[in-house]
């Protein structure tokens, strides 16, 4: 079974920019596209296959038909037809709201849904672009409430100037905000539970203040203070570079200038491949040939045993899978 491509779900948003369409090489009349959902099993916003034998299938329909062949035995046992990851490209023209996501326990108790742990890989950044992640000092729940009330929350958050290649891992409970000038690839648990803590007093397109969840967030925040909230990784070309390994996903970076093979034997999971620079061709062990370029995303079935990636000049990709759970 060959790797699958899906129609991107483009999301015009209040803070969205103008980079996603050109980055992906697609034409659209939409403006201020803040997000492109590349692979989504979120109800009401499911990805749809865009070519081949399964053209028009929703992701959940595809899993229902192909089961372990598509997602892997352990993944199908744990999640059924729910696809466990959501991957996006995000283009921020303005600062996004300051927010936090609850962990699985709290989110299931309150909403009957998964929590959200996620990661950001900075694909590109304007001069002066920045992100916020974690507290800059020890803060108590009571101090958090006071900072929100007097509009000084940003003063106690860590603010990072960023450039292409920067990496942030955001476990559930970490206060964070994507800010103006950043273009990122985001990998996260499938969840739409977000607590918006502070939004700089902005209003929506109808002039109404955007809903805040300040009180709900109080119990969801992890108040642990860390000296650094960035994720550091060794740089390298033409090899696998591990970025994040957590209970929800394992993500690696490949910056390729020559052919490279990925052995998937014994990996009981699908593999998501996001093209984040350049272009190339991917060959699987069944002889299928699939093109991949910047801005495209592939879903490689769990039944695939190996991939050979041949860049055309250069190709940079992110891969993500579910870690094995016996």
Could you say which DSSP state residue 53 is in? G
Helices (H), 162-223: 214-220
Answer whether 62's CB lies under 8 Å from 298's CB: no
Q: Are strands 271-284 and 289-293 parallel, antiparallel or unpaired?
A: antiparallel
Q: Is 67 helix (H, G, I), strand (E, B) or coil?
A: coil
CA distance 8 to 298: 11
The catalytically annotated residue of 7, 108, 196, 308 is 196
* CB-based burial, 41-77: b 16+ in 10 Å, e otherwise: bbeeebbbbeeeebeebbbbebbeebbbbbbbebbbe
Paired with 315 in beta bridges are 256, 278
Answer whether 159's CB lies under 8 Å from 247's CB: no
CA distance 267 to 271: 9
Could you say which DSSP state residue 156 is in? G
Of 256, 272, 261, nearest to 311 (Cα)?
Answer: 256
Distances (CA, A) of 300 to 26, 30, 52, 184, 303: 22, 29, 14, 22, 8
Token representation of residue 277: 């620079």
Distances (CA, A) of 235 to 123, 131, 244, 247, 273: 15, 21, 14, 24, 19
End-to-end CA distance of the chain: 25
110 given a catalytic annotation: no
CA distance 24 to 3: 19
Q: Which residues are catalytic?
A: 196
């Amino acid at each position: 079974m060959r790797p699958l491509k899906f129609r991107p779900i483009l999301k015009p948003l209040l803070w969205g920019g103008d980079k996603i369409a050109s980055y992906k090489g697609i034409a659209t009349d939409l403006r201020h596209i803040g997000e492109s959902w590349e692979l989504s099993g979120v109800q009401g916003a499911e990805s749809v296959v865009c070519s081949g034998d399964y053209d028009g299938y929703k992701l959940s329909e595809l899993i229902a038909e192909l089961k372990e062949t598509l997602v892997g035995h352990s993944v199908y046992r744990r999640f059924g037809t729910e696809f466990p990851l959501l991957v996006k490209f995000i283009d921020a023209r303005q600062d996004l709201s300051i927010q936090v996501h609850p962990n699985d326990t709290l989110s299931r108790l309150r909403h009957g849904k998964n929590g959200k742990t996620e990661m950001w890989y900075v694909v590109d950044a304007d001069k002066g672009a920045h992100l916020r992640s974690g507290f800059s000092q020890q803060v108590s729940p009571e101090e958090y409430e006071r900072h929100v009330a007097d509009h000084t929350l940003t003063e106690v958050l860590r603010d990072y100037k960023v450039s292409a290649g920067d990496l942030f891992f955001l476990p559930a409970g970490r206060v964070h905000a994507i800010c103006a000038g950043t273009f990122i690839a985001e990998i996260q648990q499938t969840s739409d539970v977000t607590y918006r803590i502070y939004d700089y007093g902005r209003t929506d397109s109808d002039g109404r203040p955007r809903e805040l969840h300040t009180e709900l967030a109080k119990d969801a925040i992890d108040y642990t203070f860390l000296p650094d909230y960035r994720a550091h990784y060794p740089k390298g070309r033409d090899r696998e570079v591990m970025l994040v390994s957590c209970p929800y996903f394992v993500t690696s970076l490949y910056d390729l200038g020559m052919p490279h093979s990925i052995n998937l034997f014994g990996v009981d999971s699908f593999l998501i491949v996001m093209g984040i620079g350049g272009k190339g061709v991917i060959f699987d062990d069944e002889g299928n040939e699939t093109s991949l370029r910047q801005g495209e995303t592939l879903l490689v079935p769990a039944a695939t045993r190996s991939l050979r990636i041949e860049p055309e000049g250069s190709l940079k990709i992110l891969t993500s899978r579910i870690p094995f759970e016996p």
